[in-house]
Amino acid sequence: MAMSLGQAQEDASTKVELTVSCSNLPKGLYSTSDTFCVMRTREEEGPFREFGRTEVICNNLNPKFFKKFVIDYTFEEKQFLGFTLYDNDSTSPNLDKHRCLGDADCTLGEIMGSKGCKFTKHLRLNEDSGSITIQGEELSDCQDMITLQFKGDKLDKKGFISKSDPFLVFHRCNEDGSFTICHKTEYIKRTLSPRWKSINIMLRTLCNGDKHRTIKVECFDWNQNGSHNLIGAFETSVTELVKGPGLPNVYPLIHPKKQAKKKSYRNSGLITLFSCKIEPHARYSFLDYIRGGCQLAFTVAIDFTASNGDPQQRSSLHYINAVHNQFESNAYLRVLQAVGEVVQDYSHDKTFPAFGFGARIPPRSQVQQQFSLNGNPDDPVCVGVEGVVTAYKEMLPKVRLDGPTEFAPIINQVASFAEAKQDGSEYLILLIITDGCVCDMDNTKEAIVNAAQLPMSIIIVGVGDRKFTSMGELAGKEVRVSSRGRFAERDIVQFVPVKQCEGRYIDIAYAIRQERFAKEVLRKIPDQVTYYLRNKNIVPGNFPSPRQLSELQKMKVE
- CATH 3.40.50.410, domain 294-546, yes or no: yes
Amino acid at 214: T
pTM of structure: 0.57
12-138 against 294-546: fold identical:
no
- Rg (the chain; Cα; Å): 26
How far is it, in rounded angstroms, from Cα 1 to Cα 343?
A: 43
Query: Dihedral of CA 122/124/130/134: which sign?
Result: negative
How far is it, in rounded angstroms, from Cα 417 to Cα 248?
A: 45
Would you list the domain boundaries of the chain? 12-138, 145-279, 294-546
Strand partners for 270: 153, 252
How far is it, in rounded angstroms, from Cα 242 to Cα 278?
A: 8
Amino acid at 231: I
b/e code 429-444 from CB counts within 10 Å (16+ = b): bbbbbbbbbbbbbebb
Amino acid at 150: F
Query: From its phi and psi, is residue 293 left (phi > 0), alpha (psi between -120 and 50) or beta?
Result: left
Q: Give every CB contact of residue 162 below 8 A, 6+ residues apart in sequence.
A: 190
Give which of 153, 151, 165, 150 is closest to 227, Cα–Cα. Answer: 165
Determine the angle formed by the axes of helices 384-395 and 331-343, rounding to 10 degrees: 160
pLDDT, tens only, 263-290: 899 999 999 999 999 877 556 777 778 8
Give CA separation, 400 vs 253, 336, 410, in Å: 59, 21, 19
Strand partners for 426: 295
Give which of 199, 271, 209 is closest to 234, Cα–Cα. Answer: 271
Which one is the CATH code of 12-138: 2.60.40.150, 3.30.460.20, 3.40.50.450, 3.40.50.920?
Answer: 2.60.40.150
pLDDT of residue 546: 46
pLDDT, tens only, 377-415: 999 999 999 999 999 999 999 999 998 999 999 999 999
Angle at 501 between CA 498 and CA 506, to 5 degrees: 110
Give which of 446, 454, 441, 461 is closest to 514, Cα–Cα. Answer: 461
Q: Count the neighbouring beta carbons within 10 Å of the beta carbon of residue 209.
A: 17
Alpha helices, DSSP H, located in 262-330: 286-291
Contact 253, 268 (CB under 8 A): yes
Task: Give DSSP secondary structure letters for 400-414.
Answer: EEB-----HHHHHHH
- What's the residue count for the chain? 558
CATH class, range 145-279: mainly beta
pLDDT tens digits, the chain, 558 residues: what are they?
Answer: 333 223 223 333 578 889 999 999 988 766 778 899 999 998 766 788 899 999 999 889 999 998 899 898 876 577 899 999 999 888 788 898 899 999 999 999 888 878 778 999 999 987 788 999 999 887 776 778 899 999 999 999 876 667 899 999 999 998 778 899 999 999 999 999 999 999 989 888 899 888 889 999 999 999 888 889 999 999 999 999 999 999 999 999 999 999 999 889 999 999 999 999 987 755 677 777 887 888 889 999 999 999 999 998 989 999 987 654 444 678 899 889 888 887 877 777 889 999 999 999 988 888 999 999 999 999 999 999 999 999 999 999 999 999 899 999 999 999 999 999 999 999 999 999 999 778 999 999 999 999 999 999 999 999 988 877 778 888 877 677 888 888 888 899 999 888 776 655 555 556 666 777 777 888 888 889 988 998 888 888 765 444 444 444 444 343
Contact 301, 355 (CB under 8 A): yes
